[in-house]
Amino acid sequence: SYDLTQPPSVSVSPGQAARITCSGDDLGRKNVCWYQQKPGQSPILVMYQDNHRPSGIPERFSGANSGDTATLTISGTQSMDEADYYCQAWDSSAFVVFGGGTRLTVL
Amino acid sequence: QVTLRESGPALVKPTQTLTLTCTFSGFSLSTSSMCVSWIRQPPGKALEWLAIIDWDDDKYYSSSLKTRLTISKDTSKNQVVLTMTNMAPVDTATYFCARSSRCTAGRAFDDWGQGTLLTVSS
């Protein structure tokens, strides 16, 4: 099996940078993507292939992936960014793997 | 514009077999690098991947559920069907189907359906 570990929660003040991590064995060798999910809604892809933003995703979202850790950074966090965030990767034996999710709170 | 819509029963009894259908538009599942997956989310919990089918009919299943799952596609109808046997109350969840156009590079899911809530109860 292959596991992705995320912190359950991250808090940030408006206007500050939020960093959400996702850890897995040798994760830097895999393509990582990130989803944002607000209550009662379907997930939205906010980052793919580590650091590529889909069309329509604000530039304040960025991604990095190296070693065992991938990071989603939201610069200048806004109240609308408050949501659950999930990382996801493809593993050759476990196939599609999701992290446990991180609740981002904008205080 | 890509759309996906899940359909199936809202309630099943324990031990029954579930059949869910994902009907999509805006893309063809016969196009190279396309794939459609099923993902579920129990109330208040995290996303859990179930199964995926590729444009070339390759299929992959969650190791913890693979004995209970079957995924198939009907390209002419633009549908992907998931069957899950021996349903139990722990299978109560919202079931999503999702599409990736990057099934040779990480399989990020660009588009998701709205999800269908399934309750397993006698």
In this predicted model, what pLDDT tens digit does every residue of B68-82 receive, in sequence order?
999 999 999 999 999
Across residues A46-56, what is the average pLDDT? 97
Q: Is the pLDDT of residue B109 over 90?
A: yes
Distance from CA of B54 to the nearest CA of A (A): 12
Closest C-alpha among B50, B99, B101, B49 to residue B78: B99
Which residues in B have their CB inside 8 Å of a CB on A? 37, 39, 46-49, 52, 60-63, 96, 98, 102, 105-110, 112-115
The pLDDT score that the predictor gives to residue A58 is: 97
Write the DSSP assignment of B3-31 as a string of letters. EEEEE--SEE-TTPPEEEEEEEESS-TTS
Tell me whether residues B106 and A43 touch, CB distance under 8 A: no
Percent of chain A with pLDDT strictly greater than 70: 100
Q: Shortest CA distance to B82 belongs to which of B90, B73, B94?
A: B73
Q: How far is CA B114 from the centre of its chain?
A: 12
Q: Quick check: B46 and A97 CB within 8 A? A: no
**What phi, psi does A80 have (nearest 5°)?**
-70, -15
Cα angle for residues A77, A80, A81 (degrees, 5° grid): 50
Residues A1-12, mean pLDDT to the nearest whole number? 97
Task: Kindly report the nearest CA distance between residue B63 and chain A, in angstroms.
Answer: 7
A91 class by beta-carbon count within 10 Å (0-12 exposed, 13-18 middle, 19+ buried): middle
* One-letter amino acid of A97: V
Instruction: Look at residue B106 and tell me whether its pLDDT is greater than 90.
Output: no
Closest by Cα among B10, B9, B14 to B122: B14
Q: CB B46 to CB A35 under 8 A?
A: no
- pLDDT value at residue A14: 97
For position A33, what pLDDT does the model report? 97
CA distance B105 to chain A (A): 7
pLDDT of residue A25: 97
Identify the pLDDT of residue B11: 97
On whether the CB atoms of residues B72 and B84 are closer than 8 A, the answer is no
Report the alpha-carbon distance of residue B113 to residue B101 in Å, rounded: 15
Q: What is the mean pLDDT of residues B96-114?
A: 93
d(Cα B41, Cα B93) in Å, to the nearest integer? 5
Residue of A nearest to B95 (CA): A42
Cα–Cα distances (Å) from B112 to A42, A80, B6, B115, in that order, read 7, 20, 10, 8
Backbone angles phi, psi at B56, to 5 degrees: -95, 15
Q: Given pLDDT bands bounded at 50, 70 and 90, which one contains residue B37?
A: very high
Confidence of residue B104 (pLDDT cuts 50, 70, 90): confident
Local structure of B34: helix, strand or coil: coil
Of B51-55, B90-94, B102-106, which gets the smallest average pLDDT?
B102-106
To which residue do tokens 């990582």 refer?
A32
Cα separation of A29 and A66, whole Å? 8
Closest CB to A43: pick one of B47, B61, B62.
Answer: B47
The percent of residues above 90 in pLDDT, for chain B, comes to 96
Average confidence score pLDDT of chain B: 96
- The residues with which B11 forms a beta bridge, in sequence order, are B119
Q: Quick one: pLDDT band at residue B111, thresholds 50, 70, 90?
A: very high
| Chain B residue at shortest CA distance from A2 | B63
What is the structure's pLDDT at B102? 87
Q: For the segment A71-106, what is each residue's pLDDT rounded down to a tens digit?
A: 999 999 999 999 999 999 998 888 999 999 999 999
Contact A42 B114 (CB under 8 A): yes
CB pairs under 8 A between A and B: 65
Tell me the average pLDDT across B41-60: 97
Question: Tokens 């196009």 appear where?
Answer: B31
What pLDDT, on a 0 to 100 scale, did the predictor assign at position B30?
A: 93
B109 with A43: Cβ contact below 8 A: yes
% of residues, chain B, pLDDT over 70:
100
- Burial category of B71 from C-beta neighbours within 10 Å (exposed 0-12, middle 13-18, buried 19 and up): buried
Residue A62 phi/psi, 5° resolution?
-140, 160
